[in-house]
Structure 1
Amino acid sequence: MKISTHLVSAPLHTPFVTALRTATHADSLLVEISDGELSGWGEAPQVWKVTGESLAGAQACVEGPIAAALDGLEPDDLTEALRRVQNAAVGNFGAKGAVDVALHDLAARRRGQTLHAFLGSSVGTVATDVTLSAGDAEALAAAARDRVADGFDVLKVKVGTGDATADAARVRRIREAIGPGPRLRLDANQGWTRRDAVTAIRSLEDCDIELVEQPVPAADLDGMAWVTDRVSTPILADESVYGVRDLVAVIRHGAADMVNVKLAKCGGLAPARTLLELAREHGIRTIVGSMMEGPVGVGAAAALVSAYPTSAVNDLDAAWWLREPPVAGGIRYDGPMIHLPSAPGLGVTGLTV
């Protein structure tokens, strides 16, 4: 197998603003694994404020220890290849995730199957929410009305800006603007204290909030458990959970009602399936999310959701924000519905940049 890497930077049609950062481009490392005739694709996004991993680091990991671990291995030996990827380095989950997905994509292509069929599903569409970037109340209200007009019925609102009272006021204004029908979920990106989280969430319980994602810092499981115990709105762990050990800690602390599984956090499709199964066994509800990724990363996550249904609408709008995708083929958005490709694997046919 030959491993190649491609650095891409795709402009967004609208700046993406959170409590942690403002993004105008989606910067990723695309990994291509070829058997000489067919290529499988994977993606490692750069998200400094979440994973702490850089594109340069991911590229070095893929081209160094991961490539060395896969050297001489036959393309059809998927199980052994995935084991070697996970053992090739400590951490580096984005790099591992990109190679894991590329290996799955190549395996599916060699069998003439779509990736979701390879994972065991015939379901060709997956629903997603859409995120509203952080902003003032009136801008958010206008954006929310636009997204509802686009057909989205689950809106994720970025909060955690440092002023929980102002956050709550913005959310209330959005609810007023869109009425009672669309679902609202909040993502604080670790931006609240435990007390501010409880105050804000309780003040919004009449606004029918579906869930609140990562209200407090990732390492503060006691604090998140404290919040979970004091509000009726479900709490979703995101940055607190990378791998199995993290999810076990969340379960033991009673820290959250739900978990957000992301390929770039956990290291790919194989670890993600383990997390989804473990969560289900312990009564933890699930969604699958994405970083600021393109059709490769989101396509893999959507294929996973097709084969491993989650408890709520998933958070897979990342590629929707792109002005132009860096690859040809792959998934297609139609409002909140993601249409999975009918071509083999992820359906990606090559780079466009």
Structure 2
Amino acid sequence: MKLTTHRVSAPLHTPFVTALRTATHVESLLVEISDGEHSGWGEAPQVWKVTGDSLAGSQACIEGPIATALDGLGPDDLTEALRRVQSAVVGNFGAKDAVDVALHDLAARRRGQTLHGFLGSTTDVVRTDVTLSVGDADALADAGKARVADGFDVLKIKVGTDAAGDIERVRRVRDAIGPGPRLRLDANQGWTRRDAVTVIRAIEDCDIELVEQPVAAADLEGMAWVTDRVNTPILADESVYGVRDLVAVIRHGAADLVNVKLAKCAGLATARTLLELAREHGLGAIVGCMMESHVGVGAAAALVSAYPTTAVNDLDAAWWLREAPVTGGIRYDGSLIHLPSAPGLGVTGLTV
């Protein structure tokens, strides 16, 4: 198998602002694994503020220890290849994710199957929410109305920069969009536990579906404290990378749901385990993404198709792109993501 990496920088049509960062481009490393006839694709996003992964680090990891670990394996050795990828290095979740997905994609293409079909699904459409970036109350209200007009009926408001102002911002969005669309909040670890309870209680009459990561990722006791004191479901995101993290959340009673992201858990293999573990222990789940292109989001959407979640998923990242950096793959129609009918992820090459 031949392994090749491609750095891409794709501009967004609108800046994406959270409590942690402001993004104007998707900066990613695309990975291509070829058997000489077929190519499988994966993506390692640059996520300095969450995983710490960088393009340079992921590229060095993939072209170095991961490539060495895969040396000598044939394209049909998927199980052994996935095991070697995960054991090749510590951390480097994005690099592992990219190679894991590319190996799955290649295996599906060699069998003439779509990736979601290879994972066991016959469903070719999944739903996503859309994020409203951090901004003042007027900007958020206008963005909320625009996104509803774009065909989205689940909106995620980025909060966590100013607890007092967050209450006004949420109320303004609800007033602007009316009672129909669902609202969920993402604080990106931005509140203290007491601020979280104060804000959530103050806006529960706005019919909030869930609140994501209200406090610092490591503060499971604090998140459990919040969960016990509000009626709105709490979603763990940055607190959960792998299986050990999810077990800790379950033991603490820290959250009602978990957000599974391929770039946090290092690929499809671990993601499936996390979704199954959450279900077995009565936790809800969604699948999310980083700021990724149609490659990474396509893999996450294929996972959702095969492993249905308990709430609408958070897979709008590629919708923010002015144009896709690849040909083929998923396409958006409002809140609907249409999965490709072509083999694998349906990606046929680069556009940049």
Q: TM-score range by the shorter chain?
A: over 0.9
**Residues 107-145 of structure 1: CA distance to partner in whole angstroms, max 9, x if unpaired?**
000000000000000100000000000001011000100
Q: Which residues of 2 match residues 328-339 of structure 1 at below 5 A?
A: 328-339=327-338
CA distance, structure 2, for counterparts of residue 233 and residue 216 of structure 1: 15
Q: What residue is the counterpart of 2:295 in the other structure?
A: 296
Quote the Cα distance in structure 1 between the aligned partners of 2:212 and 2:44. Answer: 23
| Structure 2 residue 312 is the aligned partner of structure 1 residue 313 | yes
- C-alpha offsets along residues 258-278 of structure 1, whole Å, 9 cap, x if unaligned? 000000000000000000000
CA distance in 2, matches of 1:176, 1:126: 28
CA distance in 2, matches of 1:154, 1:44: 27
Aligned to 1:165: 164
Q: Where do 1:70-85 residues align within 5 Å?
A: 70-85=70-85
Distance 1:60 1:280 in 2: 36
Provide structure 2 residue ranges, at least 5 long, that are not aligned to the other structure: none
Equivalent residue letter for 2:153: D
SS of the counterpart of 2:337? Answer: strand
In structure 1, the residue matched to 2:212 is: 213
Alignment deviations for residues 221-247 of structure 1 (CA, whole Å, 9 cap, x no partner)? 000000000000000000000000000
> In the alignment, which residue of structure 1 is the partner of 2:124?
124
1:268 aligned residue: 267
SS in 2 for 1:311: coil
Give the aligned partner of residue 31 of structure 2: 31
Equivalences for residues 78-117 of structure 1 within 5 A: 78-117=78-117
Deviation of the 1:303 alpha carbon: 0.2
Per the TM alignment, residue 324 of structure 1 is displaced from its structure 2 partner at its CA by 1.1
3-state secondary structure, aligned to 1:74: coil
The residue that corresponds to 1:287 in the other structure is 286
What CA distance in whole angstroms lies between the structure 2 residues aligned with 1:225 and 1:76? 44
Partner residue of 1:62? 62
SS at match of 1:204: helix
Deviations 1:83-129 (A, max 9, x none): 00000000111000000000000000000000000000010000000
CA drift of 1:151 comes to: 1.0
Does the alignment pair 1:186 with 2:180? no
Q: Deviations over 1:33-62 (max 9, x none)?
A: 000111000000001101111110000100
TM-score, length of structure 1 as denominator length: 0.99
Alpha-carbon distance in structure 2 between the residues aligned to 1:235 and 1:329: 36
Amino acid aligned to 2:255? A
Residue 225 of structure 1 aligns to which amino acid in structure 2? A
Q: Give the alignment of 1:47-58 within 5 angstroms.
A: 47-58=47-58
CA distance, structure 1, for counterparts of residue 251 and residue 47 of structure 2: 28
Query: Amino acid of the residue matched to residue 242 of structure 1?
Result: Y
After TM superposition, give the deviation of residue 157 of structure 1 in Å.
0.2
1:146 and 1:53 mapped to 2: Cα distance?
Answer: 33
1:349 corresponds in structure 2 to: 348
Taking the aligned partners of 1:50 and 1:169, their CA distance within structure 2 comes to 27
**Alignment partners' CA distance in 1, 2:292 and 2:150:** 21
Supply the distance in 2 between the matched residues of 1:335 and 1:246 (Cα, whole angstroms): 33
Q: How far off its partner does 1:165 sit?
A: 1.3
**Which letter maps to 2:259?**
N
Structure 2 CA distance for aligned equivalents of residues 151 and 60 of structure 1: 40
Structure 2 partner of 1:234:
233
Percent pairwise identity: 85
1:336, CA displacement in angstroms?
0.3
How much is the aligned-residue C-alpha RMSD, in angstroms?
0.4
